[in-house]
Amino acid sequence: MTGDDTVPGAGTVLAVRGSVLDLGFAPGDLPAVNEAAEIAWDMTPEPLVAHRVRGVAPRDTGACVAAESLGLAAGTLAAGP
């Protein structure tokens, strides 16, 4: 699944490799380079902020986080800008 079609602007965590994430979004919802996506998950009370740093495919992007991502799983929702 690439993006969450039920939540406008929302994407999905596709892969986690330490502080580097691959995020998927629906067409037209992909954040611009240097924009951030917020990822709400149950490991912290505050959302994890992932900054887009590169394109992977037309609907997928690479992002970096500056916080602990241990426990973050593929399939977690990511809200775009």
Element (H, E) at 47: none
pLDDT digits (tens, 9 = 90+) for 14-39: 999 988 888 888 878 888 887 888 88
Residue 72 forms part of a structural domain: yes
**What is the tens place of the pLDDT at every residue in 43-73?**
778 888 888 887 767 777 788 887 888 888 8
Whether 2 is in a domain gets the answer no
- Is it the case that residue 3 has pLDDT exceeding 60? no
Could you tell me if residue 5 is inside a domain? no
How many domains would you assign to the chain?
Answer: 1
Any domain includes 22: yes
Contacts 24+ apart (CB under 8 A), 24-28: 24/59, 24/60, 25/59, 25/60, 25/61, 25/78, 25/80, 26/2, 26/59, 27/3, 27/58, 27/59
Residue 22, domain CATH: 2.40.10.170
Domain that holds residue 21: 10-79
Strand duo 10-17 + 20-25: pairing: antiparallel
